[in-house]
């Protein structure tokens, strides 16, 4: 017996996406993302990966204006590869809040309405669009997000944004935002052995019809450097049973956590892309899920950093 899950989810009642999407963070460079001096990826390689993703059925891409290397911007690569015009069913989600200067160093987080509007407009310019499908407010700390989320809600009312989401948040943040405007998705760090204490929050999102979009579901504690830690024997055993890679099992486990879970694995490697998309077809048995769930529950919690 295997566990099956729906293959699509609808954001905000009108944007239907395949649950296996693509994260663009790794696209502008080789090696670790979000660092100064990263080696830029060749434009032809990056755009080929994006076009192949769409060919393989990906219609949900996660990006941000602060995803860039010295020569490449994830947003502009997406525009170059897929724009003019974009596919009708393609949903592009971006995020605002974090900021990097031209050297790639982190700079002051956007916390004012003016700074957030500037970031929204920069995403629009880079992507070559007149509106953004989904904008996630990336949060640092536990302080109130009312002013910031309210500023994005005003941009939504003005037609610059279609739907709003949140990233790196607590349940209290979600409740605060929902009192201002609808929230269609939550992006938090989550995966096998990562943030097991979020289980109730994941369920809460599903009960409220909110997509839960884990980041670093494959990389885990490796975060922006990628999956660097030794893999657990349990994950390896399940991978062997399916003739799959540990990364594929991690993606499959994510999708089995509920129909509202959306996976956004990212890569600049065409072979890894094909493997990631294929993971959406893996069906784990109840025994395998129970084994992986034990690994997840027993792992030490991790902390999140900007992504």
Residue 174 Cα distances to 163, 207, 210, 211, angstroms:
15, 13, 10, 12
DSSP bridge pairs for 161 = 132
Residues with Cβ within 8 Å of 157's Cβ and at least 6 positions away in sequence, in order, are none
Task: Say if CB 197 and CB 301 are below 8 A apart.
Answer: yes
Question: Among the options 67, 190, 198, 216, which is catalytic?
Answer: 67
In the structure encoding, which two tokens stand for residue 223, read together? 């975060």
DSSP code of residue 185:
E
- What is the number of helices (H) and of strands (E) in the chain? 10, 9
Q: Is 67 a catalytic residue?
A: yes
Tokens 């536990």: give the residue. 142
DSSP bridge pairs for 263 = 20
Q: Which helix (H) or strand (E) holds 239?
A: helix 233-241
CA distance 184 to 178: 10
Task: Say if CB 11 and CB 184 are below 8 A apart.
Answer: yes
DSSP string, 104-165: S-B-PPP-SHHHHHHHHHHHHHHHT-SSEEEEEEE--SSS--HHHHHHHHHHHHTTSEEEEE
In the structure encoding, which two tokens stand for residue 131, read together? 């509106």
Residues with Cβ within 8 Å of 210's Cβ and at least 6 positions away in sequence, in order, are 174, 183, 184, 185, 186, 260
CA 170 vs. chain centroid, Å, equals 17
Active site residues: 67
């Amino acid at each position: 017996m295997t566990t099956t899950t729906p293959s699509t989810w609808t954001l905000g009642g009108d944007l239907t996406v395949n649950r296996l999407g693509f994260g663009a963070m790794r696209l502008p460079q080789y090696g670790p993302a979000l660092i100064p001096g990263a080696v830029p990826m060749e434009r032809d390689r990056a755009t080929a990966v994006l076009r192949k993703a769409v060919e393989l059925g990906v219609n949900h891409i996660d990006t941000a204006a602060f995803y860039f290397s010295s020569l490449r911007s994830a947003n502009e690569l997406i525009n170059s590869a897929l724009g003019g015009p974009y596919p009708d069913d393609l949903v592009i989600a971006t995020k605002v809040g974090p900021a990097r200067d031209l050297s790639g160093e982190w700079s002051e987080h956007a916390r004012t309405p003016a700074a957030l509007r500037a970031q929204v407009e920069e995403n629009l310019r880079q992507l070559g669009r007149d509106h953004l499908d989904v904008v996630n407010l990336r949060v640092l700390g536990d302080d109130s997000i009312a002013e910031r989320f309210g500023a994005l809600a005003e941009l939504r009312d003005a037609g610059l944004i279609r739907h709003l989401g949140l990233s790196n948040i607590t349940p209290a943040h979600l409740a605060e935002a929902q009192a201002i405007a609808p929230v269609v998705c939550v992006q938090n760090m989550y995966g096998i052995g990562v943030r097991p204490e979020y289980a109730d929050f994941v369920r809460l999102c599903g009960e409220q019809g909110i997509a839960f979009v884990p980041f670093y579901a494959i990389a885990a504690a490796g975060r922006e450097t990628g999956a660097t830690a030794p893999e657990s024997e349990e994950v390896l055993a399940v991978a062997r049973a399916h003739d799959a890679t540990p990364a594929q099992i991690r993606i499959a486990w994510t999708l089995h956590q509920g129909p509202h879970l959306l996976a956004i694995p990212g890569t600049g490697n065409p072979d890894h892309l094909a493997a990631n998309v294929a993971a959406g077809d893996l069906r784990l048995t109840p025994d395998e899920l129970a084994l992986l769930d034990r690994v997840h529950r027993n792992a030490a919690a991790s902390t999140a950093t900007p992504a």
